[in-house]
Amino acid sequence: MSNTPPADIKFRTQSQLGEVFAALDSGTGREVRRMLSTLSPQSIAQLLESSPPRIRQVLWKLIDKEVEGEVLQELTDDVQSQILATMDTEEMVAVMEGLDADDVADILQQLPDRVMAEVLSAMSETDRQRVESVLAYDEETAGGLMDTDTISVRPNLTLDVVLRYLRRHEQLPESTDSLFVVNRKGQYIGLLPLSKLLTTDPSVTVREVVNTDVEPIPADMSDTEVARLFEKYDWITAPVVDSNNRLLGRITIDDVVDVIREGADHSLMSLAGLDEEEDTFAPVRRTARRRALWLGINLLTALLASWVISLFQDTLDKVVALAILMPIVASMGGVAGSQTLTVVIRGMALGQIGRSNLNWLLSRELGSAVLNALLWSLVMGLIAGLWFGDQRIALIIVAAMVINLVTAALAGAILPVALRAMRIDPALAGGVALTTVTDVVGFMSFLGLATWYFG
Amino acid sequence: MSNTPPADIKFRTQSQLGEVFAALDSGTGREVRRMLSTLSPQSIAQLLESSPPRIRQVLWKLIDKEVEGEVLQELTDDVQSQILATMDTEEMVAVMEGLDADDVADILQQLPDRVMAEVLSAMSETDRQRVESVLAYDEETAGGLMDTDTISVRPNLTLDVVLRYLRRHEQLPESTDSLFVVNRKGQYIGLLPLSKLLTTDPSVTVREVVNTDVEPIPADMSDTEVARLFEKYDWITAPVVDSNNRLLGRITIDDVVDVIREGADHSLMSLAGLDEEEDTFAPVRRTARRRALWLGINLLTALLASWVISLFQDTLDKVVALAILMPIVASMGGVAGSQTLTVVIRGMALGQIGRSNLNWLLSRELGSAVLNALLWSLVMGLIAGLWFGDQRIALIIVAAMVINLVTAALAGAILPVALRAMRIDPALAGGVALTTVTDVVGFMSFLGLATWYFG
């Protein structure tokens, strides 16, 4: 059911959303139901994702029963679990009928263990077995991504036999671009691309044309590693095997695209202390609760910076210009550091940065920091000198900015690598750690130099 | 040539990079050449992306001539243009031979106009025409993404004839999962999936099985829109047509994955004032130059904040505790605002946010901000009261934090939408604009209330 008719290809969520909201407002559920029935499951899912919680619940009730499962599997984890929370076991089993095993497994993992067990035991024997074979693997591995719906052939058959075998199928599994060649024990030998099948003399055997170059993916490979391989080699499907090289299933590009999207979103969202699966339209209380911890952590680091300032309160009392200028030193350090941090975090996510090139990167960042520190500290020194008519303040801010911008570059490059070595997510912790460093060093260097200078 | 043998599937760039660097150090170019010859073009490209500039130039010279083109097309724009800068016209033409028209067009667009014209005129007539048909479209549209290498069939043929026609091909174009059905004028009618071709009785005609549900993509659709459609409908290939519905070519998922990756990276990199195409290993001077402007803009906003502080210097002179606490008010506003900003920017990138749900989002953000503002301002008020033994300071910081956190939520939600309406990239300008607001409002509210209170 992929390649679903996008009768609504030029459809824009936003205008559609406006119409649906208007129809809901005027209270005509029937009209909304009609509008929804003209949309593909993917468009309905996008509509749900773009709706505030109450409207989302109303819309869900107006969807055709037959497409509910397909809509559900398109939703992000957070929204899925909100909708599942309103269903009983029977409804869940009905909704998941006809979905691929990997999609059912994804959905089930949003449920509490007890409910998951209930749903599984209410499924048909074959369905349960297929889903359980996927559930046996961690969600974030190749096994958790794979679908068990494959077509495999033996190497001794002629292509003619394969062609006749295929013709007995009503249709092939979604996104099938290759058949899998396996031996008698079900062990993976290689691929037989459909395009090869169509362009080769039917009298030759599978063995003569099998493509053995593509190594299969072990079921325990991490999903980000899988995504990197797909991205690198432009795969559409790839075989997944167990530790005995037995074919377990296949991974298709549509599931990998989700992994790529989530991985890229992860860096962005984590830098603000957010989760990439977060529902854009989560209700007030959930939103407030999820963000509270992050704000609390940042309050602690801000208090640390304030404590550093308090060490120099006698100097601040004497020269009020210092209080006026000190945020500039801290802020410029923060901005410079976050540029380095972002480049390094992205480079690490792309697998580019490691021991062999870290030193080069560090010295490049240092070099770049020195050049920009000299440029902008001199500009700032000139401004400060003119503003307060005091050369000493100008000299102090120049020195403090150079110190803080160079520290910022070092911290921005070293922190993510060090955090990763400590198995802490650099995207999540890097930003806070960096700001702490640039604030503390910024205030310390500026006020410290001033205390020493002004006595 | 896709699905290239990943003899190195378990290959890790980092360990490989270490070995290559070691071999380069010991001066044995032949050893490095041998190592490179065992790698796929994709792995060599990743090695080049992960190398500092000088090593990158040395490695490039050691690559087999035959794979140079494939390696080049895998590189990011920034790295491509560095390598092209070392070649003459003849070398460029040789390198690009055998690549897909869309990949050649991508590479050519890295060159100055004069050089591009030279390379084009040195190409064979057919190659030039195919590349020029892609170059006619903006790089960031469906036309710029498409490949002209398609197989199309007429509706009146029987599948048997189609099968015999395919069998005359040595191989089908990469990632072919469907043939395109066109009329006599070359106008697009629908798709004939290979899997359909393999599972249907060969005596029926194309007309009877053609899938007319998939609307073709207009050549001038933006690449992000194309990516959204692929992501939504799990497409592998899609047809591209001109304004008369004539089939121009097809877009394949591998090029779309790059668009998705770049789009997601764009938000992350732009928030730090960086370009998503930026070479992680750009040399010092280029890095410093690219970042200088961003630091300059931030210096201006920091100066604005300092000017706000200077308005209250008499009060600061009287109560030094204010100087110690004021960064906390500004910093908490910045953190709270950046959480809202990130959620809204991501939601906009996913096409979820528009006029119909903006109000809901705004009130959700306000609600969440009020809750967290009350929590953390009271905590902070308590700390300030205990620290300075002064209830007035405690009251002032509570009020200022509530004002700034609520302002931050409003600014974080409204700024990106307003910037987009002004056709300014919200990911690029949003962060700076937000910090300016939270700094100015933070200092203004805290010091303003203090001035009014302490008189």
Take residue A223 and report the two structure tokens written for it: 């999903």
DSSP reduced 3-state for A349: helix
Contact B309 A324 (CB under 8 A): yes
- pLDDT value, residue A3: 37
A336 to chain B: closest CA residue: B295
Structural contact between residues B17 and B189, judged by C-beta atoms closer than 8 angstroms: no
Kindly give, in sequence order, each residue whose CB lies less than 8 Å from that of residue B185, ignoring residues fewer than 6 positions away. Answer: B246
Task: Report if residue A158 sits inside a domain.
Answer: yes
Q: Is the pLDDT of residue A292 over 70?
A: yes
**Helices B53-61 and B77-84, axial angle in degrees (round to 10):** 60
Q: Which of B176, B292, B309 sits opposite A375 (nearest CB)?
A: B292
**Helices B101-108 and B89-96, axial angle in degrees (round to 10):** 150
Kindly give, in sequence order, each residue whose CB lies less than 8 Å from that of residue B4, ignoring residues fewer than 6 positions away. Answer: A213, A233, B40, B41, B42, B70
- pLDDT value, residue A157: 95
Residues B338, B223, single domain; the answer is no
Task: Report if residue B367 sits inside a domain.
Answer: yes
With beta carbons under 8 A apart, name residues in chain A contacting B11: none
- pLDDT value, residue A14: 66
Task: Report if residue B287 sits inside a domain.
Answer: no
Q: Which of B171, B323, B327 sits opposite A195 (nearest CB)?
A: B171
Helix (H) or strand (E) holding B247: strand B247-252
Contact B343 A316 (CB under 8 A): no
Residues A355, A295, single domain; the answer is yes
Structural contact between residues B229 and B238, judged by C-beta atoms closer than 8 angstroms: yes
Q: What is the pLDDT of residues A82-115, one digit of tens each?
A: 899 888 888 888 888 878 888 888 889 888 888 8
Give mean pLDDT, residues A293-317: 94
Contact B254 A234 (CB under 8 A): yes
How would you list the strands of the sheet with A237-241, edge to edge?
Answer: A217-218, A237-241, A247-252
How would you list the strands of the sheet with B152-153, edge to edge?
Answer: B152-153, B178-182, B188-193
Kindly give, in sequence order, each residue whose CB lies less than 8 Å from that of residue A424, ignoring residues fewer than 6 positions away. Answer: none
Q: What CATH number does residue A55 fall under?
A: 1.25.60.10
Q: Is the pLDDT of residue A12 over 70?
A: no
Q: What is the pLDDT of residues B131-150, one digit of tens each?
A: 888 888 888 899 988 888 88
Domain's final residue, options B112, B145, B178 = B145
With beta carbons under 8 A apart, name residues in chain B contacting A57: none
Dihedral (CA of A332, A335, A338, A340) sign: negative
Residues A105, A232, single domain; the answer is no
Residues B252, B317, single domain; the answer is no
Chain A interface disruption, residue of B3, B153, B350, most A CBs within 10 A: B3
Kindly give, in sequence order, each residue whose CB lies less than 8 Å from that of residue B312, ignoring residues fewer than 6 positions away. Answer: B322, B443, B447, B448, B450, B451
Task: Report if residue B6 sits inside a domain.
Answer: no
Where do the H-state alpha helices sit in B136-252?
A: 142-145, 159-167, 194-199, 206-209, 223-233
Contact B265 A264 (CB under 8 A): yes
Residues B321, B449, single domain; the answer is yes
Q: Is the pLDDT of residue B158 over 90?
A: yes
A230 to chain B: closest CA residue: B254
Task: Report if residue A344 sits inside a domain.
Answer: yes
Contact B52 A303 (CB under 8 A): no
Contact A364 B52 (CB under 8 A): yes
Count the Cβ atoms, other than its own, within 10 Å of residue A171.
12
B18 to chain A: closest CA residue: A356
pLDDT band at A415 (very low <50, low <70, confident <90, very high): very high
DSSP β-bridge partners for residue B251: B238
- pLDDT value, residue B7: 38
A255 to chain B: closest CA residue: B234
In terms of Cα–Cα distance, which of A447, A404, A175, A137 is closest to A308?
Answer: A447
A191 to chain B: closest CA residue: B3
Q: How far apart are CA B238 and CA A3, in angstroms?
A: 10
Domain's final residue, options B145, B174, B195 = B145
Q: What CATH number does residue A169 fall under?
A: 3.10.580.10
Q: Is the pLDDT of residue A289 over 80?
A: yes
Contact A341 B195 (CB under 8 A): no
Residues A425, A388, single domain; the answer is yes
Q: How far apart are CA B17 and CA B23, in angstroms?
A: 10
Residues A328, A208, single domain; the answer is no
DSSP reduced 3-state for A153: strand
In terms of Cα–Cα distance, which of A267, A170, A233 is closest to B42?
Answer: A233
Residues B122, B83, single domain; the answer is yes
Mean of the per-residue pLDDT values for chain B? 89
With beta carbons under 8 A apart, name residues in chain A contacting B12: 351
With beta carbons under 8 A apart, name residues in chain A contacting B305: 327-328, 331
Q: What is the pLDDT of residues A165-180, one digit of tens each?
A: 999 988 888 778 899 9
Percent residues over pLDDT 90 in chain A = 50
Contact B367 A235 (CB under 8 A): no
B232 to chain A: closest CA residue: A42
Contact A325 B306 (CB under 8 A): yes
In terms of Cα–Cα distance, which of A82, A81, A80, A107 is closest to A93?
Answer: A107
* Amino acid (one-letter) located at B312: F
Structural contact between residues A84 and A104, judged by C-beta atoms closer than 8 angstroms: no
DSSP reduced 3-state for A217: strand
Chain B nearest CA to A343, separation (Å):
6
Q: Is the pLDDT of residue A8 over 50?
A: no
DSSP, res A168: T
Task: Report if residue A25 sits inside a domain.
Answer: yes
Q: Is the pLDDT of residue B2 over 70?
A: no
Lowest mean pLDDT, pick from B24-28, B65-69, B281-285:
B24-28
With beta carbons under 8 A apart, name residues in chain B contacting A99: none
Contact A14 B356 (CB under 8 A): yes
Contact B295 A376 (CB under 8 A): yes
Helix (H) or strand (E) holding B152: strand B152-153
Chain A nearest CA to B295, separation (Å):
7
In terms of Cα–Cα distance, which of B374, B427, B379 is closest to B403?
Answer: B374
With beta carbons under 8 A apart, name residues in chain A contacting B360: 52, 281
Take residue A330 and report the two structure tokens written for it: 């801290």
How would you list the strands of the sheet with B237-241, edge to edge?
Answer: B217-218, B237-241, B247-252
DSSP, res A28: -
Contact A198 B197 (CB under 8 A): yes
Contact A335 B294 (CB under 8 A): yes
DSSP, res B216: P
What ipTM was estimated for this complex?
A: 0.85
Kindly give, in sequence order, each residue whose CB lies less than 8 Å from that of residue A357, ignoring residues fewer than 6 positions away. Answer: B17, B21, B50, B51, B52, B281
pLDDT band at B13 (very low <50, low <70, confident <90, very high): low
- Kindly list the distances between the CA atom of residue A106 and the CA atoms of A77, A144, A237, A446, in Å, as whole numbers in the listed order: 8, 8, 19, 53
Domain count, chain B: 3
Q: Can you give the residue range of the structural domain that contains A230?
A: 152-254
Q: How far apart are CA B264 and CA A276, in angstroms?
A: 12
Take residue A285 and report the two structure tokens written for it: 């209380």
Contact A360 B303 (CB under 8 A): no
Tell me chain A's radius of gyration from C-alpha atoms.
Answer: 29
Q: Which of A264, A288, A316 sits opposite B371 (nearest CB)?
A: A288
Chain A interface disruption, residue of B40, B210, B236, B270, most A CBs within 10 A: B236
DSSP β-bridge partners for residue B217: B240
Q: How far apart are CA A384 and CA A391, in angstroms?
A: 8
With beta carbons under 8 A apart, name residues in chain A contacting B271: 268, 271, 342
With beta carbons under 8 A apart, name residues in chain A contacting B385: none
Contact A372 B175 (CB under 8 A): no
Q: How far apart are CA A398 and CA A376, in angstroms?
A: 9
With beta carbons under 8 A apart, name residues in chain B contacting A413: none
Domain's final residue, options B122, B145, B168 = B145
Q: Is the pLDDT of residue B5 over 90?
A: no
Count the Cβ atoms, other than its own, within 10 Å of residue A362.
18
Residues B166, B129, single domain; the answer is no
Count the Cβ atoms, other than its own, within 10 Å of residue B224.
16
Task: Report if residue A42 sits inside a domain.
Answer: yes
With beta carbons under 8 A apart, name residues in chain A contacting B234: 2-3, 174-175, 253-254, 257
B339 to chain A: closest CA residue: A272
Residues B35, B170, single domain; the answer is no
A260 to chain B: closest CA residue: B261
- pLDDT value, residue B450: 96
Q: How far apart are CA A146 and CA A139, in angstroms?
A: 10
- pLDDT value, residue A13: 61
- Kindly list the distances between the CA atom of residue B39 and the CA atoms of A210, B35, B63, B124, in Å, as whole numbers in the listed order: 22, 7, 10, 30
Residues A19, A135, single domain; the answer is yes
With beta carbons under 8 A apart, name residues in chain A contacting B336: 291, 295
- At residue A446, φ and ψ (nearest 5 deg) are -65, -50
With beta carbons under 8 A apart, name residues in chain A contacting B213: 3-7
Chain B interface disruption, residue of A368, A382, A404, A438, most B CBs within 10 A: A368
Take residue B103 and report the two structure tokens written for it: 């990949």
Q: Which of B49, B296, B372 sits opposite A288 (nearest CB)?
A: B372
| Phi-psi group of A35: left, alpha or beta (phi > 0 → left; psi -120 to 50 → alpha; rest → beta) | alpha
Q: What CATH number does residue A446 fall under?
A: 1.10.357.20
Q: What is the pLDDT of residues B316-369, one digit of tens each?
A: 999 999 999 999 999 999 999 999 999 999 898 888 888 888 899 999 999 999
Contact B3 A234 (CB under 8 A): yes
With beta carbons under 8 A apart, name residues in chain A contacting B347: 280
Task: Report if residue B95 sits inside a domain.
Answer: yes
Residues A74, A167, single domain; the answer is no
Q: How far apart are CA B371 and CA A423, in angstroms?
A: 33
Chain A nearest CA to B136, separation (Å):
23
**Helices A391-421 and A355-388, axial angle in degrees (round to 10):** 160
A322 to chain B: closest CA residue: B323
Take residue A452 and report the two structure tokens written for it: 């020493």
Q: How far apart are CA B78 and CA B110, in angstroms?
A: 8
Take residue B423 and report the two structure tokens written for it: 């056709």
Q: Which of B18, B288, B383 sits opposite A368 (nearest CB)?
A: B288
Count residue pairs from A and B with Cβ separation < 8 A.
415
